[in-house]
Amino acid sequence: MHTGGYDIGVVPGDGIGPELVASAQEVLDAAAGDGVEVRFHIEDAGADTYRRTGTACSDETFDRLRSYDGILKGPVGLPGVRRPDGTEGGLLGGLLRGGLDTYVNERPISLLPGVDGPLRGERRIDHVIVRENTEGLYLARGLGVGNERAVVDQLLMTREGVERVVRYAFELARRRPGAPADGVHRVTCVDKANVLRSFAFFRRIFDEIAEEYPDVQTDHRYADAAGHDLVVDPEHFDVLVMENFLGDILSDVAAATVGGLGMCPGGNIGDAHAYFEPIHGSAPAIAGRDLANPISQILAAAMLADHLGERPVGDRIRAAVRTGFARGDIVILPSGSPKDGTDAVTRAVIGALES
């Protein structure tokens, strides 16, 4: 713990973002208690900021974000806010991930007690998707070239980029309890090495790094097979590592097995900076109606606590969420909305913290 406490940058975001972030702040404060001081600093960034100012995040805001001990970010984006080329305006992913060099996108996927998922029978789902965050196909964001007859986007992987995200995945596997099916510490490489040279490059570097971790089992899946197995055999997986675009897709597939995107947090983590957020969008249609599920944002706050070196605070939040679901105090409807509303979920988690 910092003896002087922690300064946290807060980006409320758009749509349901502000109400989710407010919920997560309240839970984080309650879990920290008197022993850990957390100071929140609200920053203006996102689609509404772009609409009002012409930029999604000012240089001054970005400089402040770089100075904080960590960042808690809500979902951003509004369907009516577009850039001159017609693409969505006000998104922060490319700006923050590249600007802060948060090269890991860590997405825990865990089935909580009392949550109805679409899979039949009792399933033990607890794995992490580690998505490379700064290169791959999404490095071409805004840089594609073409005309009315053809367009091309380039996929780029570098040795340094692949090495560091693969090494992160192996280090994470060492810290985890292992795959639910057999308790084995395992990292699965997901790629399309049978089709594209860039993915064969990714796999080759993965196998090189694996030799440094003889205590961690490795296996490989082509991306299409991984999508299949995340549904039919999720207990096999512990940590999965993959390119940016594949991680974006497969983490949504995995989220569906544990109750939906509203159950899954994400951490964007680099050597010097990190920010934490839900993996879903801003859902402006339900903003301000007490219909949003705040669990992903609350669990993102738990990941933030871990990052700060306050793992007991993160563990308290995760335990309180589990307790709330196990007791039946938190019920998520098939629509993805909490049965008794956003605020009721917040109250249930804080109640579990205090019990």
List residues with catalytic annotation. 138, 192, 224, 248, 252
- In whole angstroms, give the CA distance from residue 287 to residue 292: 8
Nearest to 295 by CA among 319, 265, 316: 265
- In whole angstroms, give the CA distance from residue 315 to residue 71: 19
> DSSP class of residue 11?
E
Nearest to 131 by CA among 213, 249, 222, 210: 249
- Around 174, how many Cα atoms within 13 Å sit in the side-chain half-sphere? 11
Q: Hey, is 298 helix, strand or coil?
A: helix
- In whole angstroms, give the CA distance from residue 298 to residue 305: 11
Residue pair 104/133 in contact by the 8 Å Cβ criterion: yes
Cα–Cα distance list, 322 to 129, 299, 303 (Å): 21, 11, 15
- Around 213, how many Cα atoms within 13 Å sit in the side-chain half-sphere? 21
Residue pair 162/134 in contact by the 8 Å Cβ criterion: no
- In whole angstroms, give the CA distance from residue 130 to residue 8: 24
Burial profile 314-325: b = 16 or more Cβ within 10 angstroms, e = fewer: bebbbebbbbbb
CA angle 259-262-266, nearest 5°? 110
Nearest to 190 by CA among 157, 166, 221, 163: 221
Beta bridge partners of 190: 221, 242
Residue pair 119/113 in contact by the 8 Å Cβ criterion: no
